[in-house]
Chain A
Amino acid sequence: MTENQVEIVRTICNSHCGGTCEMKVHVQDNKIIRIEPDDRPGHPRMCARGHAYRQRVYAPDRLLYPLKRTGPRGAGEFVRISWDEAAETVATELQKVKAAYGNAAILHFCSMCDPHTLHHVGAFHRLLCQFGGYTAPWGFISHEGATFAAGLTYGTRRKYVQTEHGADEYASSKFLIMWGWNPATTDLGSLTNLALVLAKEKGTRIVTVDPRFTDSAAVFADQWIPIRPGTDAAALLSMAHVVMKENLQDQAFIDKYTLGYEPFKAYVMGEEDGVEKTPQWASLISGIPAETIAKLAREFATNKPATLVTSIGPGRTAMGEQYHRAAHALEAITGNTAFANWQSGPSRNMKFNPQLPSPPNAVEEGMPPRNIALPYRSRTVNSSARVNVSSFANAILKGKAGGYAAEYKAIWLSNTNYLNQLGDVNNTAKAFEKLDFALVTEQFMTPTARFADIVLPVCTFLERHDIVAPRGGQVFAILNKAIEPLGESKSQREICQLLAKKLGIEDYGDASDEEMVKNIIEQASEEVDLPDFETLKKEGMHRVKRADTPGLQKDSPKLPGDTPLKTPSGKIEIYSEVALNMNQPQIPALPKYIETWEGLNDPLVQKYPLQLISPHLKRRAHTQFDNLPWLRELQIQAVSMNTVDAGKRGIQQGEMVRVFNDRGEVRIPAKVTERIMPGVVALPQGAWYTPDEKGIDHGGCVNVLTKNEISPGGAFACHTALVQIEKVVE
C-alpha cells in the first residue's frame, strides 16, 4: 500500500438492524474517506445509517481509552486509566464477588452493537464459563412473545414472524395483511420493501392494521385499519368468529394439520365463557368498526393465497403471546399458514460453532427448568438459573426474596444500552446503585455506560476482522478490517483475551481473528458450497441460494407436508397441553383475549388517559447511531399525538410538552399529526436518557415511562403504558 493511494475494502454492515448490506470502504493512509454502496445487483443496499458509519468511527465522543468512575453512578464522571489497571480492577472485582457470593452473582448480557460472530456472546460466554460460570439471560427483548407463541403452536424455537416470510411469498399472495408491521422503517437492510412494492405493482391487495399510518401504510397499503394497542388478539379472534360463523374455514387443512379446532371454536363462539367473540365485541375493545373486521376476515379467508405478516411489535405488550397465538390460529383455520420459507436457508441448519467450545455454565448445572420452560428450548436456555433479560433490574433489586435464583452483585454489559432500552429507567438506575461492581464495554458513553465502574473502549467493526455466518440467513460475509483501531480501543474478543490472562485462565484461546474466520469458512464449506477463504476475503461476501427445506412439499409451498412438527401432537397446536401444564392462569391452553394492565379499562386511565407506544425511528438502530449529526438532522425526536388530543390540551405543532406517569417524565416537542389514532401517542424508542437534576428526561427516552413487568410468557411489554401529556408552562 503506497502512500495516498485509495484502497477499497469490502465489508458488510450489520448493526442490530437485521440487515447485511455490502459496503465498499474507501481507505487512504489508514483513514476512511468515504463509504460507497456496493453495486452487485439483487443484493440489499445500505440504509442511511450505513452511509453515516464514517461519522460513527470518527465521532468526537468515541471512547478511546479505558475509564474509571470517579463520581456517583450515573453522573458520568470518569478518569482515564491504563488497560493494565482497568483489566486488573475488573479481575479483582469479579474475583471478590465470586469469593463472597458465588458465580451466580455475576450477570452478563451482550446485545447487538455490531458484534457479529467472533465478538458476540460466545466470546464472553467462553470466558465466563471458564471462570466458573455466571447468570445468563433468557428471552428476547424484541420477540419473546412471538417466540413463546411459536414454541407452543409449532414446536419450533424459530420466532415464526415477519422474517420467516419470504419475498417471493408476497408477490404470490392475492391478499396481504401487515399487522403492526412497518418494514419501511424497521426492515431497511433487506429486500423486503422492494418485494412488497413489486407485489403491489403486480396487484396484491395490501391492508395494514396499526395504531399509526406508518410510512409502510403510505407506500404499500390499499387500506389502513387503526387499532388500539394491546387489543390485537381480540380483533384476530373476532376474525376467526366471522370465518366460523360464515363457514369459511379450510376444513381439509384443519383436519389434516391442526389440533384443537373444536375447543377453539367453543371459546370463540362463547360456549366456554359465555362471551361470543363477535366483531361487535372486538369493536368495543379494539376501536375497529365491526363491519371492517368482518370484511377483513372474509377477504383473508377467501382470497387465497393470503398472507398475514404478524409483526413482533404488537407482541411487545402485556399479553403479547396471545396476539401471536391468535394470529397463528386464524392462519391455520383459513389454511393460510405460511410454511414456504419456514426454517429455510442454510443458517437454520448450521452446526458449526464459531467459537471454541465452552465448558458448561456451572451456575446452570443441576438447576431445574423454570415453570414456563418450552420443551423445544435447550436445557440451558430453560434453566431456572437464568434471568429474563427484560427483568434484569428487578432481579438485582429483589434477588431471592423476589423469586429469583440468586442475589446479583456484579454486572457486565457488552454492547448493550439496557438502562435505556428496558422498562422503567428510574427503576433500572436504582438497580445499578445496588451493585458491587458494574462493567460496561462500549463505543460511546451511553446512558448505561454512565452507571459503570469501569468502561472499556470497544472498536467498531471497521477496525477488526469478523464474519457474518449463521446470522442473516443466506449471507456469508467476511468483515475485513479497514483501518487500525482508533486510540486504545480493542475488539470484544481482544478484551476477553486480555481479561482471561488477568483472571488466570490459560486456555481461553490466542488465535487471531483472521485465523478464526478462516477456520469457520473451512468448517462451513463442509455443509455449504462456498468460495475459498481468499476469494471470500476479496469479494467480502457470498450469498447462498435458499436451500429447499427438508420435509416441505415443493409443489404446494403453503402446506407443511407430511413431516410432523415438533409439537407433542406433531400438528399445529391451536390447543396446547404444554401451555395447560404450565399452570398459569394467564397462559391458557387456547389463544385468548386477556385484558392488559394499563389498558383502557384500568382505573389509572382517569389520571393517564393516553396509550403510549414506542416505535422505531429510521435513523437509529435502537440506541445506536443516535449521536451522529448526519442522522440526527433527518428526523427530530418528538412525541406524536393526534390533532384531536393536541387540540384538547392546547398543544401546537413543535411545542414542548411533558409526557408523564407515576414512573417518570420526559420533556420533548410534540409532533401533532393525523397519522396516529386518537388516544394513542408514540415516542420513538432509542433516544438517549438525559436526566436533569430533578430526574426529568430531556433526551426523549421512552422507557422512562414504560413498566418493568414482562408478559406471562416473558415478553418485554413496552407498548403497554398509560401516560398524560401537558404543555410545558415555564
Chain B
Amino acid sequence: MMTQYGLHIDQNRCTGCFACVVACKDWHNVPAGPASWINVKVIEKGTYPDLFVAFLPTTCYHCKSPACLDVCPVGAIAKRDEDGIVTVDRELCLGKTDCGQCLEACSYSAPQFGEEEDAKMQKCDLCIDRWAESKKPVCVMSCPMYALDAGPLEDLRKKEQIARETEGFTYSESLGPSVLFKAKRR
C-alpha cells in the first residue's frame, strides 16, 4: 500500500494564535488576501455565561480520493504516488472565474484563490520542498503549542487518543481526508 502523508492536530492545544497561518504565507510567499493555505476556524457555542469555544486549523487534507482531482477538467490536480500529497499545476489551472469546480467539489474548502481576476487555484502542498530537506511543514514547526504534526499516517496513528473527528470537523468517508485528531475535551 502507498504511504499516505497527513496531519495530526491536537485541538486541545490550539490557542488560535495564527502563527501557522502567517508562517505559511511567509514561507510560500502568499500575499495578503483571501488565499491562505491554512486557516484557523473559531467555533463558538452557548449563551452567556455558559460558553464553549474551540479553535481548529483547517487546510487541505490530501484525501485518499480527492474530489478536486476527479472534477478538474484539465488534469491540473495530481496525487503523488510516493506520499499521497495532492498537488496543483497552476499553469494548467483554468482559474476560479472560468472553472472553480474543485472548490465546489471539496467539502473542506481547501482550494484557495487570490483576489486577482483570473485567480488560479493554490493550496497546501504539505511543504513538499521542506520534506525534501528532511524538514516538517512550516505550520508544524511554527506551532508554539506543538499542536500540529505531520508525516506518514501510519506513524501519526501511533499517537494517543486518536480520533477521526473533532469539534468543527466531520470525516468524509467518500474523500478519506488524511488528518487525525486528539479531539477537543468538553
A36-44, A97-105, A257-265, A293-301 - interface stretch? A36-44
Q: Does B163 contact A (CB under 8 A)?
A: no
Q: Looking at the complex, which one of A197, A218, A633, A675 makes contact with B54 (CB distance below 8 Å)?
A: A218
Q: Distance (Å) between the CB of B35 and the closest chain A CB?
A: 11
Find the residue from A217, A618, A644 having the highest chain B CB count within 10 A.
A618
Q: Report yes or no: A213 in contact with B53, Cβ–Cβ below 8 A.
A: yes
Q: Distance (Å) between the CB of A610 and the closest chain B CB?
A: 15
Q: Report yes or no: B145 in contact with A194, Cβ–Cβ below 8 A.
A: yes
Q: Report yes or no: B144 in contact with A675, Cβ–Cβ below 8 A.
A: no
Specify which chain A residues have a CB less than 8 angstroms from the CB of B29 in the assembled complex.
Answer: 34
Q: Does A489 contact B (CB under 8 A)?
A: no
From residue 1 to 55 of chain B, which have CB atoms closer than 8 A to chain A?
12-19, 21-23, 25-27, 29, 31-33, 44, 46-49, 51-55
Q: Distance (Å) between the CB of B114 and the closest chain A CB?
A: 12
Q: Does B131 contact A (CB under 8 A)?
A: no
Q: Distance (Å) between the CB of A455 and the closest chain B CB?
A: 26
Q: Does B128 contact A (CB under 8 A)?
A: no
Find the residue from A36, A51, A197, A629 having the highest chain B CB count within 10 A.
A51
Specify which chain A residues have a CB less than 8 angstroms from the CB of B55 in the assembled complex.
Answer: 215, 218-219
From residue 70 to 126 of chain B, which have CB atoms closer than 8 A to chain A?
none
Q: Distance (Å) between the CB of B151 and the closest chain A CB?
A: 15
Specify which chain B residues have a CB less than 8 angstroms from the CB of A36 in the assembled complex.
Answer: 27, 138, 141
* Bound form: Cα–Cα A499–B57 in Å: 50
Q: Distance (Å) between the CB of A617 and the closest chain B CB?
A: 11
Q: Does A91 contact B (CB under 8 A)?
A: no
* Bound form: Cα–Cα A36–B141 in Å: 9
Q: Looking at the complex, which one of B17, B51, B145 makes contact with A674 (CB distance below 8 Å)?
A: B51
Q: Report yes or no: B44 in contact with A184, Cβ–Cβ below 8 A.
A: no
Q: Report yes or no: A630 in contact with B17, Cβ–Cβ below 8 A.
A: no
Q: Does B169 contact A (CB under 8 A)?
A: no
* Bound form: Cα–Cα A46–B22 in Å: 10
Q: Does A47 contact B (CB under 8 A)?
A: yes
* Bound form: Cα–Cα A218–B15 in Å: 8
Chain B proximity mask over A30-65: 1 for CB below 8 Å, otherwise 0: 000011110100001111110110100000000000
From residue 118 to 165 of chain B, which have CB atoms closer than 8 A to chain A?
135, 138, 141-146
Find the residue from B12, B25, B31, B141 having the highest chain A CB count within 10 A.
B25
Specify which chain B residues have a CB less than 8 angstroms from the CB of A201 in the assembled complex.
Answer: 12
Find the residue from A37, A54, A194, A226 having the highest chain B CB count within 10 A.
A37
Specify which chain B residues have a CB less than 8 angstroms from the CB of A448 in the assembled complex.
Answer: none
With A193-B144, A633-B33 as given contacts, are A47 and B12 in contact (CB-CB < 8 Å)?
Answer: no
Q: Looking at the complex, which one of B48, B145, B146 makes contact with A642 (CB distance below 8 Å)?
A: B48
Q: Report yes or no: A213 in contact with B51, Cβ–Cβ below 8 A.
A: yes
Specify which chain A residues have a CB less than 8 angstroms from the CB of B143 in the assembled complex.
Answer: 45
* Bound form: Cα–Cα A632–B15 in Å: 18
Q: Distance (Å) between the CB of A615 and the closest chain B CB?
A: 15
Q: Looking at the complex, which one of A48, A197, A200, A673 makes contact with B17 (CB distance below 8 Å)?
A: A48
Specify which chain A residues have a CB less than 8 angstroms from the CB of B142 in the assembled complex.
Answer: 37, 45-46, 51
Specify which chain B residues have a CB less than 8 angstroms from the CB of A678 in the assembled complex.
Answer: 48
Specify which chain A residues have a CB less than 8 angstroms from the CB of B138 in the assembled complex.
Answer: 36-37
Summed over the interface, the residue pairs from A and B with CB atoms below 8 Å come to a total of 119
Q: Report yes or no: A184 in contact with B16, Cβ–Cβ below 8 A.
A: yes
Q: Report yes or no: B23 in contact with A193, Cβ–Cβ below 8 A.
A: no
* Bound form: Cα–Cα A486–B47 in Å: 51
Q: Report yes or no: A224 in contact with B16, Cβ–Cβ below 8 A.
A: no
What bracket does the count of chain B residues touching chain A fall in?
35 or more
With A194-B144, A224-B51 as given contacts, are A45 and B27 in contact (CB-CB < 8 Å)?
Answer: no
* Chain A residue with Cβ nearest B32: A629
Chain B proximity mask over A242-255: 1 for CB below 8 Å, otherwise 0: 00000000000000
* Bound form: Cα–Cα A457–B53 in Å: 43
* Bound form: Cα–Cα A250–B161 in Å: 41
Find the residue from B13, B17, B32, B144 having the highest chain A CB count within 10 A.
B144
Q: Report yes or no: B48 in contact with A51, Cβ–Cβ below 8 A.
A: no
Q: Report yes or no: B12 in contact with A218, Cβ–Cβ below 8 A.
A: no
Specify which chain A residues have a CB less than 8 angstroms from the CB of B13 in the assembled complex.
Answer: 197, 219
* Chain A residue with Cβ nearest B144: A45
Chain B proximity mask over A160-203: 1 for CB below 8 Å, otherwise 0: 00000000000000000000000010001000011001001100
* Bound form: Cα–Cα A283–B161 in Å: 42
From residue 210 to 250 of chain A, which have CB atoms closer than 8 A to chain B?
213, 215-219, 224, 226
With A39-B141, A45-B143, A633-B33 as given contacts, are A674 and B44 in contact (CB-CB < 8 Å)?
Answer: yes
Q: Report yes or no: B27 in contact with A48, Cβ–Cβ below 8 A.
A: no
* Chain B residue with Cβ nearest A190: B144
* Chain B residue with Cβ nearest A213: B51
Q: Report yes or no: A184 in contact with B26, Cβ–Cβ below 8 A.
A: no
Q: Looking at the complex, which one of A54, A215, A618 makes contact with B26 (CB distance below 8 Å)?
A: A54
Specify which chain B residues have a CB less than 8 angstroms from the CB of A729 in the assembled complex.
Answer: none
Q: Report yes or no: A184 in contact with B17, Cβ–Cβ below 8 A.
A: yes
Chain B proximity mask over A10-45: 1 for CB below 8 Å, otherwise 0: 000000000000000000000000111101000011
Q: Distance (Å) between the CB of A454 and the closest chain B CB?
A: 32
Q: Report yes or no: A47 in contact with B17, Cβ–Cβ below 8 A.
A: yes
* Bound form: Cα–Cα A643–B46 in Å: 12
Q: Report yes or no: B144 in contact with A47, Cβ–Cβ below 8 A.
A: yes
Q: Does A619 contact B (CB under 8 A)?
A: yes
Q: Looking at the complex, which one of B53, B141, B146 makes contact with A218 (CB distance below 8 Å)?
A: B53
Q: Report yes or no: A194 in contact with B146, Cβ–Cβ below 8 A.
A: yes
Chain B proximity mask over A622-634: 1 for CB below 8 Å, otherwise 0: 0000000111111
Q: Looking at the complex, which one of B19, B47, B52 makes contact with A45 (CB distance below 8 Å)?
A: B19
With A39-B141, A45-B142, A675-B53 as given contacts, are A618 and B17 in contact (CB-CB < 8 Å)?
Answer: yes
* Chain A residue with Cβ nearest B39: A634
* Chain A residue with Cβ nearest B141: A37
* Chain A residue with Cβ nearest B16: A215
Q: Report yes or no: A619 in contact with B53, Cβ–Cβ below 8 A.
A: no
Q: Distance (Å) between the CB of B135 and the closest chain A CB?
A: 8
* Bound form: Cα–Cα A727–B17 in Å: 31
* Chain A residue with Cβ nearest B29: A34
Q: Looking at the complex, which one of B46, B47, B49, B144 makes contact with A44 (CB distance below 8 Å)?
A: B144
Specify which chain B residues have a CB less than 8 angstroms from the CB of A677 in the assembled complex.
Answer: 48-49
* Bound form: Cα–Cα A37–B48 in Å: 38
A-B contact pairs, 26 of them (CB 8 A): A34-B26, A39-B135, A45-B19, A45-B141, A48-B22, A48-B23, A51-B22, A51-B25, A52-B22, A52-B26, A184-B15, A193-B15, A193-B144, A194-B144, A197-B13, A215-B15, A219-B13, A219-B14, A219-B15, A631-B22, A632-B32, A643-B48, A644-B48, A674-B44, A675-B44, A678-B48
Which 8 residue pairs of A and B lie closest in terms of their CB atoms, listed nearest first?
A: A629-B32, A218-B53, A51-B22, A184-B15, A48-B18, A48-B22, A45-B144, A51-B23
**A34-B27, A48-B21, A634-B21 are known contacts; what are 7 more A-B pairs with Cβ within 8 Å?**
A36-B138, A37-B23, A47-B19, A48-B18, A51-B25, A215-B16, A219-B55
